[in-house]
Amino acid sequence: MMAVSLQTSPVFAVSKSRLVFEAPCARISSDIPNCDIAPDGQRLLMVKENRQKAAITQLNVVPNWFEDLKQHAGGLPQ
- Determine which helix (DSSP H) or strand (DSSP E) holds 69, and give its type and residue range: helix 65-72
CB atoms closer than 10 angstroms to residue 44:
11
Point out which residues pair with 7 in neighbouring strands: 13
Residue 16: inside a domain? yes
Residue 62: inside a domain? no
**What's this model's pTM, rounded to 2 decimal places?**
0.41
Q: Domain span at residue 23?
A: 1-50
> What distance in Å separates the CA atoms of residue 69 and residue 52, rounded to the nearest whole number?
32
Q: What is the pLDDT of residue 50?
A: 67
Q: What is the pLDDT of residue 17?
A: 94
Number of domains observed in the structure of the chain: 1
Identify the DSSP state of 32: B
Residue 18: inside a domain? yes
- Determine which helix (DSSP H) or strand (DSSP E) holds 60, and give its type and residue range: none
Residue 2: inside a domain? yes
Q: pLDDT tens digits for 19-75?
A: 988 876 666 677 777 778 888 888 888 777 667 777 778 888 888 888 878 887 765
Q: What is the pLDDT of residue 4?
A: 92
Q: What is the pLDDT of residue 23?
A: 72
Residue 6: inside a domain? yes
